[in-house]
Structure 1
Amino acid sequence: MAMALLCLILLFKSMPSDFTTDVHKHTHKGDKGYCSENDWLESFTVIRRLINNGFHRELVSHVQCAAAVPEGSQVLLLEKLPQGVYVDPYQLTSTQEHSDTQCLCVQVLLASEIDLEAPAYLSSGFSALVYASRDPQCSGCFTTTLPVHARYHRPAGSGEAEQRVSIESPRLLVRAKESTLPLACPQKKVTEAPCTAQNHSLCTWLEIHYQQELEAVSLQIPVGDQRQVLAVCTGTLSVTLLCCCMILGAVWKHGLFQL
């Protein structure tokens, strides 16, 4: 466990403030035949959903490619999460620690340290790099599961019982062998990002435009009613005073006092 925490601390300290660097967008003409051989890059679809209920959810993303994906290709999702949710880095470390891999580092890179206790109105959004893994049951499919937790929100003054928090669509990055990447093709946006969650050396990735079934996923978070503040405070204070009086009465009745 100590090794896992040390790995997590080193991860934060060595993480740059900006994950990705847009190198340039190639506009010169490449070989049309070579570019047409990489049509697989235009056939990606991303399906996202939130599972579980309440304040603790899992954001599941399925990345599917209709064409054959070259062996050894990697898929990376650049998530931009809103201030209404957070990711627990200690949970990620614990999950990785109990997995079958030997490395204790997480497979998610966070842009900054996260305050787990801060409410939504005192927090800010953050970015995370989520490295997808191949789905052995589906050819050309990758999947990620990111645990997300809802933050406490201010009570609503309009009587609304829930607050909607939307998670926008991620950027999709693909990395393969240099010989299979169409870096010289037009309209291909080349980006540099960490090679893996453990190797922070920058590698060349291509940002892919993909199809998505839903524009964004969202979760409904229960919030308090501002109009009930007086009643709640009065009731809480009354119950607290009553309990204190009962405890003092029991101590006075059954206690042993020395004069």
Structure 2
Amino acid sequence: MQFSLDLLERCEPCARSSDSILSPRALLGRAFSGDLATPAVAVRAVAWLLLWEAAGFTCSPATTFNNTRVVAGIRATCSEIILRQEVLKDGFHRDLLTKVKFGESIEDLQTCRLLIKQYIPTGLFVDPYELASLRERNITEAVMVSENFNIEAPNYLSKESEVLIYARQDSQCIDCFQAFLPVHYRYHRPHSKDGETFIVVHNPDLLMYCDQEFPVLKCWAQSKVTAPCALNSKDICQWNNMKYKSVYKNLTLQVPVGLTIHTFLVCSVTLLITILCSTLILVAVFKYGHFSL
């Protein structure tokens, strides 16, 4: 009976919260009163107590509401980070634009830095000399990570590369960052039937470093990643690898390729044009050139 009374004490707040439902304490009290003093009712009351304990009804609705409100407050501070990538321009030379938006306005966000680790598939390449020129003109802050990089290699002879892009805060959005990276298509093998192929650009790693702690770091930081603190700095910082929600699962680019059935025609026309142009050059040299022995 001591065990049953302990359960009654724990369920007492729930009994007080509702007048329309008969609580187990009241039922057990009536079971031992003169009106319902039967063994069957007492057993039924104890059974109800055990069911309530198993179901977890040991707290009042007011307490449940307060806990729900606290959880809602935590979720409010853990609003999602949205990442969107899109490709600008047409042809074989494109611009990869990455935009990051925090779900809430964070004060003093200027104390945070955002680093995008972009994985470049074999079908694309980034020109390191072009990046150097863009850095000099303060257009973008990106640097190649991969070594022994060949920009002339075709798709089937190249390897995946990595680029670090230091994102800049968007002047038109308080809690937004954006990064810009020029990319170029590589040459692909010709196909036998389909005259196009597809390149899949996977979502990047989003790294964040702040001088002070923000709730967003506690909510979405997954691991620590070592990377330079700034583009031209030798200092190493521990960046937070952030979890985010991407607007697109992956970015897919469509690339036109040649057909193998056109091999003979292309080679023949190329050879004829080469012979014709070489002949015209030789004729012009002998006709207008001045030779001295």
Q: Report the TM-score when normalising by structure 1.
A: 0.73
Do 2:78 and 2:219's aligned partners in 1 also have CA atoms closer than 8 Å?
no
Match of residue 162, structure 1, among 192, 196, 206? 196
Do 2:155 and 2:188's aligned partners in 1 also have CA atoms closer than 8 Å?
yes
Say whether 1:45 aligns with 2:82.
Answer: yes
Partners of 1:80 and 1:41 in 2: CA distance: 27
Partners of 1:107 and 1:234 in 2: CA distance: 46
Q: Corresponding residue for 1:86?
A: 125
Q: Corresponding residue for 2:173?
A: 138
- Cα deviation for residue 173 of structure 1 reads 1.3
Question: Structure 1 residues 40 and 192, CA, compared in 2 at 3 Å: closer, same or farther?
Answer: farther
Q: Corresponding residue for 2:51?
A: none
- Cα deviation for residue 116 of structure 1 reads 1.7
User: Whose helix fraction is larger, Structure 1's or Structure 2's?
Assistant: 2
Question: Structure 1 residues 86 and 246, CA, compared in 2 at 3 Å: closer, same or farther?
Answer: closer
Partners of 1:161 and 1:186 in 2: CA distance: 43
Q: Percent identity?
A: 33
- Cα deviation for residue 247 of structure 1 reads 5.5
Q: Corresponding residue for 2:243?
A: 209
- Cα deviation for residue 255 of structure 1 reads 8.1
For structure 1, the 5+ residue unaligned runs are 1-32, 101-105
Do 2:221 and 2:242's aligned partners in 1 also have CA atoms closer than 8 Å?
no
Could you say what the CA RMSD is over the residues aligned between the two structures, in angstroms? 3.0
User: Whose strand fraction is larger, Structure 1's or Structure 2's?
Assistant: 1
Task: Return the index of the structure with the highest Cα Rg.
Answer: 2
Q: Corresponding residue for 2:182?
A: 147
Partners of 1:207 and 1:196 in 2: CA distance: 16
Question: Structure 1 residues 195 and 248, CA, compared in 2 at 3 Å: closer, same or farther?
Answer: closer
Partners of 2:198 and 2:207 in 1: CA distance: 28
SS of structure 2 residue aligned to 1:144: strand
- Cα deviation for residue 188 of structure 1 reads 3.8
Do 2:121 and 2:160's aligned partners in 1 also have CA atoms closer than 8 Å?
yes
- Cα deviation for residue 243 of structure 1 reads 4.2
- Cα deviation for residue 191 of structure 1 reads 2.5
Q: How many residues align?
A: 219
Partners of 2:246 and 2:202 in 1: CA distance: 11
Do 1:40 and 1:65's aligned partners in 2 also have CA atoms closer than 8 Å?
no
Do 1:40 and 1:69's aligned partners in 2 also have CA atoms closer than 8 Å?
no
Say whether 1:69 aligns with 2:106.
Answer: yes
Q: Corresponding residue for 1:95?
A: 134
Partners of 1:79 and 1:52 in 2: CA distance: 19
Do 2:87 and 2:96's aligned partners in 1 also have CA atoms closer than 8 Å?
yes
Do 2:200 and 2:253's aligned partners in 1 also have CA atoms closer than 8 Å?
yes
SS of structure 1 residue aligned to 2:118: strand
Say whether 1:172 aligns with 2:206.
Answer: yes
Partners of 2:287 and 2:210 in 1: CA distance: 78
Do 1:38 and 1:182's aligned partners in 2 also have CA atoms closer than 8 Å?
no
For structure 2, the 5+ residue unaligned runs are 1-69
- Cα deviation for residue 69 of structure 1 reads 2.5
- Cα deviation for residue 52 of structure 1 reads 0.2
Q: Corresponding residue for 1:199?
A: 233
The 10-residue stretch of structure 1 (133-142 or 238-247) with the greater mean CA deviation from structure 2: 238-247
Match of residue 263, structure 2, among 224, 229, 233? 229
